[in-house]
Structure 1
Amino acid sequence: MERPHDLEIPSGRGDAIDGYGRLDKSTLVPVVDNSDSAIPEAVPWEYGKNEMPIARKDIRAANFGPIGEKKMRLGVDPSITPAAQPNTYVGATSKLSATNWTNPVDGTTHRFVFFQDPFNSMIVRRWNSTSGLWTTNNLTDIFSRTKNPVNVLTPSTPLASVSSSWFDRNELHIYYVAPDDVMTGAAIIDLVNKPDTWVYDDLGGATLTTFPGSQIAASWQRGYTSDSMGWWALAWQDKKNGAVRLANGTDFRNNKLAIPSVETAHGTSLALIPELYYNNNVNRLTMVSESLLSPTKGVIKKFTYQDLWYSDGRWLSKRNIPPPTDGVQFSLMRFDNWTLIYLLVLLPNGTITGEYFANGFKEVPTVTFADGPSDLNFTAIAGTEEASQPITTKTLSLTFDLVAWNMYISTFALGFFATLVATAPPFDSKQSVECTEQNALKRREWSALTENERKEYVSAMECLMKKPSRYAPGELPASDNYYTDFAAHHISVALNIHMSGIFLSAHRELLYLMEKSLHEKCGYSLDMGLPYWDWPEYLNKPLNESTLFDGSSSSLGGDGEHVQNQSAYVIGPEEAQKVKPVLKEGDTLPLGSGGGCVVEGPFANRTVYLGPFPITYSRAGLPEDWKEPNPHCFNRELSSTTLELLSNADAVKNLLDSTDITQFQARLNPIHRGGHLGVGGIGGQMADFFASPLDPAFWLHHAQIDRLWAIFQDQDPAERRYSYNGTGTFQNPAGTPEVTNSTVVPFGILGNDVTLEEVANPMEGRYCYRYV
């Protein structure tokens, strides 16, 4: 299936967004009252599935245990605590929203979590219960290419999401507030058949303005009378007078007063759920909002809709709730066939409290994690109950997986998925959560990825190639897109970052910046790192038959077209410096199987504008016009023979047996060059000393080099972590200073400058990744 950023995104809301009719009361199915039944155990935590790791700010998930335990649990193994993952970011003031939806066709549960990144883009993370994987989409990026862009969002915009299956309607909606305080939204209106097609939702043309600082709430509600709010409901605090109003999907313009302004604190938080009422009909709503007892004390009130809105009690009445301007947030849920109501409240000090109602108000379980009580300072909260299988009756098949609730005819497992965000340092600073093997982003070998994971990586790469360059107009005309910017920067610093004391460090950061771009710009799954290419594992058959280069849709594209009568590649003096002692000047390399343009698979028929640059430029320097476009095709010349000659298993073992960094670097040179020549041959981009990042294979090749350096460092961290050899100039000429921890490596438009000390440890500081 194509990824969303490759789709032609429909614009306009379409007929499916509004215009729904009312529900026929005769189709409603009675719900068994299980209020006296035992509360089942919580759904077990499954690490790798339910967690949603995010870097800088740490999105965590928790399940309720049995009520008697008075706690929420995160996992069962003290060694498993999902925490930060590098290269993915949550905005410092981002709110959260979460919802579940179960596919009525195949029973797969999809969990959606919405948040803003540090650039205020709208991000959605989706978990698939069948694959057990999270995927990511940048909605701001998707809609930026339609006539309804949502690419200008206020930081900390209120968020409210809702999803449901009802007969033939399977929909997901996300609502948010634009900078002019007007609510708007986006939707998937056919989750079964078009699960990746987002459309703009203009709320039926209604202009609904929100009170600054307030929150919004959304819920599905199935009413059966003309007075009942049907289909889905959206609540907000009106900017005009501070009253809380409620609209529904039938006609957002026909909204109603829910809570008068005299009952509501300005800037209130809101939460909304449907509620079971008499005759087992789902025909009322429960909402909570804030009222002020005094200028410094507040109270949370519960309101219920049944033909009209009324207040039926205070929640948390024994606790002094600070005014809403201090940032109180709600999560409201219903369990056990709608007989239990849960309210979680995130207080301004970052702690979570609450109550639940079951024959009276009782204290809600407190938040603890598998490794002990949480000392995290939470900044946002969202909740959704654990999904279950739909119940089929003789007359109707129902699946209710909603923003804060599930309804099933029989008792379902009492587990809820809460998403909690902890505070963290600003974007681009050091990790706030200790990096461990459990929470580190995993970079895996290419062949270990599933076919869909390989396709996702390829798609993200192709996405970067479609984004505009970050260079100012006229600054570097040959760099025509975001991806090519990496190659342009590599060219500009090639004579500093190769065969020098900063080679390993500079390329480690370059990999990180590419990985970060794939995640943030193109929706590459946040739990997937850059893959690496373990060369010796690919020597049992020709490269053009491997999963890397077989030309399939899950490969990095095929070989170049075969070029007849090529002359052998003779090792010149510049190349000899890179491949010694395996080869020397005057030796020849065997010809590969291609040599021409790549015409099969991903990246086929691609035109590049940088280069080619002969290796002699490493001695003579780049020409003055190197920044000008020189259009030519993307080509390759795969050679398993060259790869086996220079990058074989014995060479890798010998490399890792090095006793110090000087020996390691010397042994690495021919291995490093072998990967370039094994793909690029005589004239391919991968063999270009300057412009090799133009070939997407560059990133897997250098991830393998970074992996081997990390292994070497970990063999003796005390001696090798901050061990360097050489200067900051190509071939370390006499008179150039030796590099140290404080040596700075510039990255221009790609990112901030870094010191060698900052990039020395993949599991510390700005990084948190490991190779598996």
Structure 2
Amino acid sequence: MAVMSVAGRRIMYLVTLLLVLCSTGVFSVPTPSGSGGSTSTKPFGTCKSIQKRKEWRSLSNTEKFQFLYAMNCILSKPGRTPASIYAGAKTRYDDLVATHINQTFEVHYVGHFLPFHRYYTWTMEKMLRQEAGYTGTFPYWDWHRDVGQGNTKFFSSPIWDANLGFGGNGAYLPVPAAQAAFAVPGRTGGGCVTTGAFKNMVVNLGPGNDFSGNGARCLSRDMSPYFSGRYLSKNQTKVTLAAKNFYEFDVIVEGGPSFEASGIHGGGHYGIGGTLGIMGDLYVSPGDPAFWIHHSNLDRVWWSWQKLKTANMQDFGGPSCLMDYYKPGETQKCANATTDMPLNLGYADMIKANVGVKVKDVMNIREMCYDYDFLLDINGNDYPNPL
């Protein structure tokens, strides 16, 4: 049996102490009401600086540790969602997961899918800064670096590092007969994550839309390098960036107008979550911390497309209700989405609980006080962003 070094014990003691301080409210702040004290005209306030999001590999070891610690801090802080509403929402992290479960069929396969998740990811970043003392950059995962050339490249990504990373795959588990027809091709796991910063994480909500907390379980992953290799390839990104307008772009990203199709969005979810992993559960997918670095990169792809289409920076459209895509000769059930559509995150909201913002407020990320170190050209290649 290996004996932990004195230095290792000191680090573990420090981490434990910090998490205790976090959970007791040392890093808490008053309920937010907007950066500028008002949500009427400029919900994100006046930017004193632009936070530059970086790819995970660009972070120093210290920055990685600080980010992973801050995420664990949010996982340990008491939540704001009343138990009378969702009994299983126990932590601040659960506040975020609960609102995703609650709005699952309102914010997927709709025009406002990308704006909602841009605001959602920004909210996590804001929560880390205001409630966990985080001062670093919010990372993204550049999928192109880790897909292709078989399983080895995917599994060896620094993202899954056993020490300064999100941990790896779960042990292989067979798919129950009831789910066999829907098994993700190439799945390789399904068991609990046993390494990395989240090896002891408990997912309180789900599975599916279960808010009771009775289904609390470990963080699981069921990685499919085959699936991610197909849908997170540079060629798929190139196809996505070639979209002529937002409506077309959104359909390609989500893989609509069919649940059986996929795009770069599903490529990350099912490439990591497979059939039995948390990321593969449409409702509770934010329960895997890898969700945030996947969606941060998805946002980077959208922002890159917006920059490529500078004349149409505010281009937006699509159905306002699930799968209500336009089909010639058929009448849509709902009105199309507009930039006046509200976005709110319930008790997780960092603008004002249950108030939120509108789509038009999140169309320009620099007005949300962040940008990316690298953007993508029309061929899906990185280029330095002249901030």
Q: CA deviation at 1:611?
A: 1.6
CA contact (8 A) 1:642 1:677 kept: yes
Q: CA deviation at 1:602?
A: 1.6
**Map of 2:273 onto structure 1:** 680
Q: CA deviation at 1:562?
A: 2.4
Q: CA deviation at 1:434?
A: 6.2
CA contact (8 A) 1:591 1:639 kept: yes
- Looking at structure 2, the residues matched to 762 and 739 of structure 1 have their Cα atoms a distance apart, in angstroms, of 20
Supply the AA of the counterpart residue of 1:677.
Answer: Y
Supply the AA of the counterpart residue of 1:496.
Answer: E
- Looking at structure 2, the residues matched to 542 and 7 of structure 1 have their Cα atoms a distance apart, in angstroms, of 33
- Is the counterpart of residue 730 in structure 1 residue 326 in structure 2? no
Pairing of 1:355-374 with structure 2 (within 5 A): none
Counterpart pick for 2:157 among 546, 557, 575: 546
Supply the AA of the counterpart residue of 1:682.
Answer: T
CA contact (8 A) 1:443 1:531 kept: yes
- Is the counterpart of residue 596 in structure 1 residue 191 in structure 2? yes
**Map of 2:352 onto structure 1:** none
**Map of 1:520 onto structure 2:** 130
TM-score, structure 1 as length reference: 0.41
Counterpart pick for 2:249 among 647, 658, 664: 664
Partner secondary structure for residue 596 of structure 1: coil
CA contact (8 A) 2:36 2:44 kept: yes
Supply the AA of the counterpart residue of 2:285.
Answer: S
CA contact (8 A) 1:501 1:726 kept: yes
Q: CA deviation at 1:610?
A: 1.5
Q: CA deviation at 1:735?
A: 2.5
CA contact (8 A) 2:193 2:221 kept: yes
Q: CA deviation at 1:705?
A: 0.8
Supply the AA of the counterpart residue of 2:126.
Answer: K
When residues 571 and 456 of structure 1 are mapped into structure 2, their CA distance, relative to the original with a 3 A threshold, is farther
**Map of 2:3 onto structure 1:** none
Q: CA deviation at 1:647?
A: 1.2
TM-score, structure 2 as length reference: 0.78
When residues 530 and 642 of structure 1 are mapped into structure 2, their CA distance, relative to the original with a 3 A threshold, is same
Per-residue CA deviation, residues 316-365 of structure 1 (Å, 9 max, x unaligned), is: xxxxxxxxxxxxxxxxxxxxxxxxxxxxxxxxxxxxxxxxxxxxxxxxxx
- Looking at structure 2, the residues matched to 691 and 684 of structure 1 have their Cα atoms a distance apart, in angstroms, of 10
Partner secondary structure for residue 736 of structure 1: coil
- Looking at structure 2, the residues matched to 712 and 4 of structure 1 have their Cα atoms a distance apart, in angstroms, of 45
When residues 142 and 660 of structure 1 are mapped into structure 2, their CA distance, relative to the original with a 3 A threshold, is same
Say which is worse superposed, 479-488 or 744-753, in terms of deviation: 744-753
- Looking at structure 1, the residues matched to 111 and 348 of structure 2 have their Cα atoms a distance apart, in angstroms, of 21
Per-residue CA deviation, residues 614-649 of structure 1 (Å, 9 max, x unaligned), is: xxxxxxxx5xx6444312221101221110011111
Supply the AA of the counterpart residue of 1:595.
Answer: G
- Is the counterpart of residue 530 in structure 1 residue 138 in structure 2? yes
Supply the AA of the counterpart residue of 2:369.
Answer: C
Counterpart pick for 1:653 among 220, 228, 238: 238
Partner secondary structure for residue 560 of structure 1: coil
Partner secondary structure for residue 698 of structure 1: helix
Per-residue CA deviation, residues 555-586 of structure 1 (Å, 9 max, x unaligned), is: 011211222587797665xxxxxxxxxxxxxx
**Map of 1:471 onto structure 2:** 81
CA contact (8 A) 2:86 2:211 kept: no
Partner secondary structure for residue 206 of structure 2: coil
Partner secondary structure for residue 757 of structure 1: helix
**Map of 1:611 onto structure 2:** 206
Q: Can you give the 5+ residue segments of structure 2 that lack an aligned partner in the other structure?
A: 1-9, 255-262, 326-331, 350-354, 374-387
CA contact (8 A) 2:184 2:224 kept: no
CA contact (8 A) 2:22 2:73 kept: no
CA contact (8 A) 1:647 1:671 kept: yes
- Looking at structure 1, the residues matched to 13 and 121 of structure 2 have their Cα atoms a distance apart, in angstroms, of 25
- Is the counterpart of residue 426 in structure 1 residue 37 in structure 2? yes
- Is the counterpart of residue 755 in structure 1 residue 358 in structure 2? yes
**Map of 1:457 onto structure 2:** 67
Supply the AA of the counterpart residue of 2:295.
Answer: H
CA contact (8 A) 1:743 1:755 kept: yes
Supply the AA of the counterpart residue of 1:729.
Answer: C
**Map of 1:699 onto structure 2:** 292
Supply the AA of the counterpart residue of 1:602.
Answer: A
**Map of 2:57 onto structure 1:** 447
When residues 715 and 3 of structure 1 are mapped into structure 2, their CA distance, relative to the original with a 3 A threshold, is farther
- Looking at structure 1, the residues matched to 28 and 251 of structure 2 have their Cα atoms a distance apart, in angstroms, of 49
CA contact (8 A) 1:590 1:641 kept: yes
Q: CA deviation at 1:595?
A: 1.4
CA contact (8 A) 1:5 1:522 kept: no
- Looking at structure 2, the residues matched to 5 and 485 of structure 1 have their Cα atoms a distance apart, in angstroms, of 26
When residues 633 and 432 of structure 1 are mapped into structure 2, their CA distance, relative to the original with a 3 A threshold, is closer
The count of residues paired between Structure 1 and Structure 2 equals 336
CA contact (8 A) 1:477 1:628 kept: yes
Q: CA deviation at 1:753?
A: 1.7
CA contact (8 A) 1:479 1:485 kept: yes
The two structures, once aligned, show a CA RMSD in angstroms of 3.0
Supply the AA of the counterpart residue of 1:743.
Answer: M
Between Structure 1 and Structure 2, the one with more helix by share is 2
CA contact (8 A) 2:279 2:291 kept: yes
CA contact (8 A) 1:747 1:753 kept: yes
Pairing of 1:84-123 with structure 2 (within 5 A): none
When residues 645 and 566 of structure 1 are mapped into structure 2, their CA distance, relative to the original with a 3 A threshold, is farther
Supply the AA of the counterpart residue of 1:520.
Answer: Q
- Looking at structure 2, the residues matched to 481 and 432 of structure 1 have their Cα atoms a distance apart, in angstroms, of 27
Q: CA deviation at 1:665?
A: 1.5
Q: CA deviation at 1:717?
A: 2.6
CA contact (8 A) 2:340 2:360 kept: yes
When residues 427 and 556 of structure 1 are mapped into structure 2, their CA distance, relative to the original with a 3 A threshold, is farther
Q: Can you give the 5+ residue segments of structure 1 that lack an aligned partner in the other structure?
A: 10-137, 154-423, 573-586, 614-621
- Looking at structure 2, the residues matched to 699 and 152 of structure 1 have their Cα atoms a distance apart, in angstroms, of 22
**Map of 2:370 onto structure 1:** 769
CA contact (8 A) 2:88 2:205 kept: yes
Higher Rg: 1
Partner secondary structure for residue 88 of structure 2: coil
Pairing of 1:243-642 with structure 2 (within 5 A): 425-426=36-37, 429-430=42-43, 433=46, 439-525=49-135, 528-539=136-147, 541-551=152-162, 553-563=163-173, 589-592=185-188, 594-613=189-208, 626-642=211-227
- Looking at structure 2, the residues matched to 521 and 568 of structure 1 have their Cα atoms a distance apart, in angstroms, of 42
**Map of 2:376 onto structure 1:** none
When residues 663 and 754 of structure 1 are mapped into structure 2, their CA distance, relative to the original with a 3 A threshold, is same
CA contact (8 A) 1:470 1:749 kept: yes
- Looking at structure 1, the residues matched to 244 and 334 of structure 2 have their Cα atoms a distance apart, in angstroms, of 25
**Map of 1:76 onto structure 2:** none
- Is the counterpart of residue 713 in structure 1 residue 306 in structure 2? yes
Pairing of 1:155-304 with structure 2 (within 5 A): none
- Looking at structure 2, the residues matched to 556 and 713 of structure 1 have their Cα atoms a distance apart, in angstroms, of 30
- Looking at structure 1, the residues matched to 175 and 296 of structure 2 have their Cα atoms a distance apart, in angstroms, of 34
Q: CA deviation at 1:661?
A: 1.1
- Is the counterpart of residue 6 in structure 1 residue 15 in structure 2? yes
When residues 559 and 722 of structure 1 are mapped into structure 2, their CA distance, relative to the original with a 3 A threshold, is same
- Looking at structure 2, the residues matched to 434 and 467 of structure 1 have their Cα atoms a distance apart, in angstroms, of 27
CA contact (8 A) 1:446 1:548 kept: yes
Q: CA deviation at 1:456?
A: 1.2
When residues 626 and 589 of structure 1 are mapped into structure 2, their CA distance, relative to the original with a 3 A threshold, is same
Q: CA deviation at 1:741?
A: 1.8
Partner secondary structure for residue 644 of structure 1: helix
- Looking at structure 1, the residues matched to 142 and 27 of structure 2 have their Cα atoms a distance apart, in angstroms, of 41
